[in-house]
Amino acid sequence: MEGLPPQPPPAQPPPPPEGPAPGWQPPSGPPPSGGEHPVSFDVEYPDRDLDRVSSGLRIFWVIPIAIVLGTVGGGTYRFGTGSNSAVTFAGAGGLLFAGPLLMILFRQKYPRWWFDWNLELQRFTNRVYVYFLLMDDRYPSTDERQGVRLEYPYPDVPRDLNRWLPLVKWLLAIPHYVVLFFLYIGAVFMAIAAWFAVVFTGRYPRGVFDYLVGVGRWSNRVVAYAFTLVTDEYPPFRLAP
């Protein structure tokens, strides 16, 4: 209409802000491929010169503590590179198996002191084998954890465990027995190579160390699943954590 001032153009919406929204942070890495296994095992790497004398004579040095382990572990542990048990990081001798199985099956409970016994016996067994394989030159303690770490949570049986699964876990773990058999053979040769390296240089080869820790980790997970019955999570087929 004539005489009216021109109207201003309609306001345009502001352009979207460039860049990420405030407070946004880029992801630190790729998404995890799977959850963390409840059984964790690790050994502190000896980044120092090891005692060459005790390492060279380790097969004799270990005898007293091996007798102690055989006493509390049911006398089923043997030492020597001619047997797979020489590199088994955890065994079933002395571990409470039938009792927890029956309690889980009929009462849906896992007595805490049975759990503590199995865990501490596994820890002690691991310390002895770590010492035997020259991975630590500190004499194994019966109660102190030293550089060996084994952890798994106490199960709430009605929530965490299937009451019928313990009857067949030992059978379901057969594929792991087969794989571990070959891993133990490799561990024997690795341990012999480590013996020469430590005796002549005082240093433990890191690749050999990582392999033996991985075999121990795998073995402990199988024991926790099939024998101490503390988890229903099937052990992964891997050496890594």
pLDDT, mean of residues 72-95: 51
What is d(CA 186, CA 121) in angstroms, rounded to the nearest whole number? 25
User: Do the strands 40-43 and 148-151 form a parallel or antiparallel pair, or are they unpaired?
Assistant: antiparallel
| pLDDT at position 27 | 38
Q: What is the DSSP letter of 193?
A: H
Confidence at 28, pLDDT banded by 50, 70, 90: very low
pTM of the model: 0.77
Q: Is residue 213 assigned to a domain? A: yes
Mean of the pLDDT values across residues 225-229? Answer: 96
Inside any domain, residue 18: no
Q: Which of 12-21, 58-67, 112-121, 155-164 is least confident?
A: 12-21
What pLDDT is recorded for position 159? 94
Q: How much is the average pLDDT of 171-184?
A: 98
Q: How confident is the model at residue 97 (pLDDT cuts 50, 70, 90)?
A: confident
Please give the residue range of the domain that contains residue 58. 41-226
In a domain, 80, yes or no: yes
Give Cα 74 distance to the centre of its chain: 23
Structure tokens at 224: 């926790």
Asked whether residue 184 is domain-assigned, the answer is yes
- 130 part of a folded domain: yes
**Percent of the chain topping pLDDT 70:** 77
pLDDT given at position 123: 96
In a domain, 148, yes or no: yes
Residue 115 lies in a domain: yes
Q: Which helix (H) or strand (E) holds 150?
A: strand 148-151
Q: Is the pLDDT of residue 92 over 90?
A: no
Q: Which residue has the tokens 């963390």?
A: 36
Count how many domains the chain has. 1
Q: Which is higher by pLDDT, 27 or 48?
A: 48
pLDDT score recorded for residue 36: 82
Pick the more confident residue, 208 or 96.
Answer: 208
Which residues lie below 8 Å from residue 25, measured CB to CB, with a gap of 6+?
A: none
Specify if 123 maps to a domain: yes
Please say if the pLDDT value at position 163 is more than 50: yes
- The backbone torsions φ and ψ at residue 150, rounded to the nearest 5 degrees and listed phi first, read -135, 125
Q: Which pLDDT value is given to residue 100?
A: 92
